[in-house]
Amino acid sequence: MNMLMFDKEAKQWEEALPLGNGRIGAMVWSGESLEKLSLNDDTLWSGFDGQDHNIKGAAKEFTVAQKLAMEGKYSQAQEHIEAHTLGSYSESYLPLGDLLLEMPTNKTTDYKRILDIENALSVLTYKQGEVNYKREAFVSATDQALVMQISGDKPGSVSFKASFACQLRYKTSAENSRLKMEGLAPSNARPLYHLTDNPITYDEKNPGLSFIVLADFEALNGEVKAEGESICITGADKVVIRLCCRTNFELKETYRETCKIELEKAIKSDYQSLKARHIEDYQALYKRMEISFGKEANLPLPQRLAKWEQSENDPALFALLFQYGRYLMIAGSRPGTTPLNLQGIWNPHLHPPWSSNYTVNINTEMNYWPAELANLPECHQPLFDFIKRLQKTGAKTAKEHYNAGGFTVHHNSDIWGLSNPVGERGKGRAVYGFWPMAAGWLSAHVFEHYLFTLDKDFLRDTAWPILHDAARFYLDVLVEDEDGTLIFAPSTSPENNFIYEDKACAVSKTATMTTAIIRETLSNVIYCCDVLNSEPPIKQEATKALKRLPAYQIGSRGELLEWSEELPEYEPAHRHTSHLYPLYPGREIEANTALAKACAKTLELRGGEGTGWALAWRINLWARMQESEKAFNCLKKQLRPATDKLGGCYPNLFGAHPPFQIDSNFGACAGIAEMLLQSSIDNVLHLLPALPKALGTGHVVGLRARGGVAVSMFFTAGKLEKAELTLDSHLASGEFTVKYAGKEQLVELVAGEVKVLEFC
């Protein structure tokens, strides 16, 4: 069925259903007497362009902290970093407003609402008296408009009043059949966790972003008229609503005219034409993949989730979870839009959790883990465009804070490309604020896109400049340790502390994740040079430095050490597993090795609980180690009801940190793919490497592997029956090693031809 079904209206935002075209987001509540569409525009953030939050002279202070850390004076190093180098916080992603449709209040029966993720439609049907009503909505990427049709099967049965509401500075007006809302975003919005007496600031000298929303109401028969700041529809057979919105983030002074032109264009097409174009565009992406673990239960989603919790007998829920992740990516990230933030593009809060920003020490990257695997490479593009923005702002940070070339990015960013360490010189904030490693992790995404597509033009024109600059920064900041190795000192392991001098401390000499990201970045640079047949000076530098990076260490309990020495953990069950980066998403540690066993021990010591995204990361880590049932144990927790403390999901399947964060939706999607297929940089494909028993019968069509290959598999009771491999049409041929159940075979692929491998 590929749908989320409900028999009751949404009473809270986490029960509403998401629609989007990458730029315009909407949460559809489907209330019986009040339809609410909670709106977002992906470019509506607080703040303004041209700000520079780097701290002048911070590089000099960094060298002081570095010396202290190298001497083992970790608390003093941390205090110095916090006192001298932590700049302003990021800005916040903001809600656009609500479109409110007030309906007559009558007794309702036969209520049913669905999110049809195969067609990207929200559909509500219900009955009042003798009239059957239907509301259908979508957000079109082709027409850049939200479209809703409201109809009844009796003449003259559709009546309602429409208005706008907004939490920002705004004004509304109504004329003829059109509603208009214009407004202004704040110049600054303080993070929720650091609110002051003036958390929202409007500065006339540095105004925030302006926005406009236009909605047109076309009625078949009946009456449409403006009343005050509302549009009233009376006695219509059906009504089509077309809504467009824009901000001046990029369009500057033309944003109003652009919005008006888009609305006028949408008005020229009837509802069925708009819908047909929308579905054709959406399905061109969505239909690339199929996945099934059995027949879906024809029950409302809350009942399905409750039944699953009792019996664990609905494996089709995991196929739905996978495709829902793909749906959210198509709805939230399209070429030309901004990348997915902590809440995708859906946020109702004036003070959203963690500013609904780009948290680039895991969360932003996790959002894009399934992009290549799940056959949605175009949806990866907004992240690449954003990295280019960070490349520019991060170059200033690298120079000002480290006296280094290249570019660096820390823990947080926003639409303006914030790259400095955050924390505003606050004590105890280095644990998250001081982490200059995001450029390397982000650069791995452009490299992965090349590995999946083998697009040399992309490698040369897009990936290489980013990788070069990320590596340049690391090469400039590496220093020699007393044992002759090269390290980045001082370092933190994201958001985690150890015990030092009887108190929590985050800053050490160096950290495992720091070394892993540097090792990966330098290795990727060398690989790119070989592919491009190029010998720039940085290749030789990277080659020499790579040999001198420290080895990973195994601790006294058999675990992979998080820091460069064995330090007592302040929070043994910490949610982050940053030091396991070289296992996943990195490619350095392979299954069934001593280091993999140390990673497994680390996960065991951390315990089996965590926030939604933390559990999603663990799905992928266990799957990479081919521990199918341990991976599935983490995956199952994605479907449990969210609580105040435990990760899980909300009634609309949105992932819970808690509160809502969309990263666990994407992390779980990637984890299911990782269970089914793993591929390496040297053209080795592992088929069903971590298939759990509960998902043992089914099929998957259109998964992607590195090397430009699409893979389809059919399996029963945990046994692979058949696999089909297809090489991308732009590649002439390729040779792959295919592994399954301890056996392997060499397979020659020719572009466009389907290679069938039988295993039964």
Q: What is the mean pLDDT of residues 746-752?
A: 93
Mean pLDDT, rounded, for 124-152: 98
User: pLDDT-derived band of residue 34, with 50, 70 and 90 as boundaries?
Assistant: very high
> Which residues face 170 on adjacent strands?
183
Does residue 658 have a cis peptide bond before it, meaning omega lies within 30 degrees of 0? yes
Cα(586)–Cα(605) distance, integer angstroms: 21
Average pLDDT over residues 149-155: 97
Per-residue pLDDT, averaged over 568-578, amounts to 95
Instruction: Kindly state the tokens that stand for 410.
Output: 């820390």
Residue 230 reports pLDDT greater than 90:
yes
Can you tell me the distance from the alpha carbon of 725 to that of 708, in angstroms, rounded to the nearest whole number?
10
Q: Which amino acid is at 476?
A: D
pLDDT band at 759 (very low <50, low <70, confident <90, very high): confident
Which pLDDT score, from 0 to 100, does residue 760 have?
64
pLDDT tens-digit profile of 155-195? Answer: 999 999 999 999 999 999 999 999 999 999 999 999 977 77
Tell me if 411 sits within 8 A of 87, measured CB to CB.
no
**Is 80 exceeded by the pLDDT of residue 197?**
no
Q: Which residues pair with 163 in a beta bridge?
A: 100
**Domain range list for the chain:** 3-46+93-287, 58-90+359-574, 693-758
Confidence of residue 524 (pLDDT cuts 50, 70, 90): very high
| Residue 198 scores a pLDDT above 80 | no
- Distance (Å, rounded) from C-alpha 514 to C-alpha 500? 20
How many of the other CB atoms lie within 10 Å of CB of 345?
A: 30
Q: Are 160 and 310 in contact (CB under 8 A)?
A: no
* Amino acid found at 671: G
Query: Residues 407-446: pLDDT tens digits?
Result: 999 999 999 999 999 999 999 999 999 999 999 999 999 9
Range 66-75 contact pairs with CB under 8 angstroms and sequence separation of 24 or more: 66/479, 66/489, 66/490, 68/490, 69/489, 69/490, 69/507, 69/508, 69/509, 70/479, 70/481, 70/489, 70/509, 72/509, 74/490, 74/500, 74/505, 74/507, 74/508, 74/509, 75/500, 75/501, 75/503, 75/505
636-652 confidence digits (pLDDT tens): 999 999 888 788 999 99
Kindly report whether the global pTM for this prediction surpasses the value 0.75: yes
pLDDT given at position 194: 75
- CB 110: neighbour CB atoms within 10 A? 11
Please give the full DSSP string across 101-168, using - where no structure is assigned: EEPP----EEEEEEEETTTTEEEEEEEETTEEEEEEEEEETTTTEEEEEEEESSTT-EEEEEEEE-SS
Greatest Cα-to-Cα distance within the chain, rounded to the nearest angstrom = 85
Strands 145-152 and 479-480: what pairing?
unpaired
The answer to whether residue 1 scores a pLDDT higher than 90 is no
Torsion angle (degrees, nearest 10) of CA 196, 356, 95, 116: -160
Of 289, 265, 280, nearest in space to 371 by CA? 289
Tell me what pLDDT residue 752 has. 83
CATH top-level class of 58-90+359-574: mainly alpha
- Higher-pLDDT residue of 665, 752: 665
Q: Which residues contact 509 (CB under 8 A, 6 or more apart)?
A: 69, 70, 72, 74, 481, 487, 489, 490, 491, 563, 564, 565
Percent over 70 (pLDDT), the chain: 100
Express each pLDDT in 102-116 by its tens digit.
999 889 999 999 999
SS3 state at 196 = coil
In degrees to the nearest 10, what's the CA dihedral of 208, 209, 210, 216?
-140
Structural tokens at position 129: 């008296």
Neighbouring-strand partners of residue 479: 487
Identify the residue with better confidence: 199 or 146.
146
Question: Is 705 or 297 the better-scoring residue by pLDDT?
Answer: 705
Topology of 3-46+93-287 in CATH?
Beta-galactosidase; Chain A, domain 5 (2.70.98)
319-343 in b/e burial notation, b at 16+ Cβ within 10 A? bbbbbbbbbbbbbbbbeebbbbbbb
The mean predicted confidence, pLDDT, of the chain is 96
How far lies 577's CA from each of 99, 320, 613, in Å? 41, 27, 11
Let me know: does 654 contact 702? Beta carbons within 8 Å: no
| Axis-axis angle for helices 537-547, 512-531 (nearest 10) | 140
The answer to whether residue 717 scores a pLDDT higher than 70 is yes
Q: Which two tokens stand for residue 721?
A: 């029956």
Burial class of residue 388, CB neighbours in 10 A (0-12, 13-18, 19+)? middle
CA-nearest of 664, 619, 621, 627 to 642 is 664
Q: Is the dihedral angle over the CA atoms 739, 743, 745, 749 positive or is it negative?
A: negative
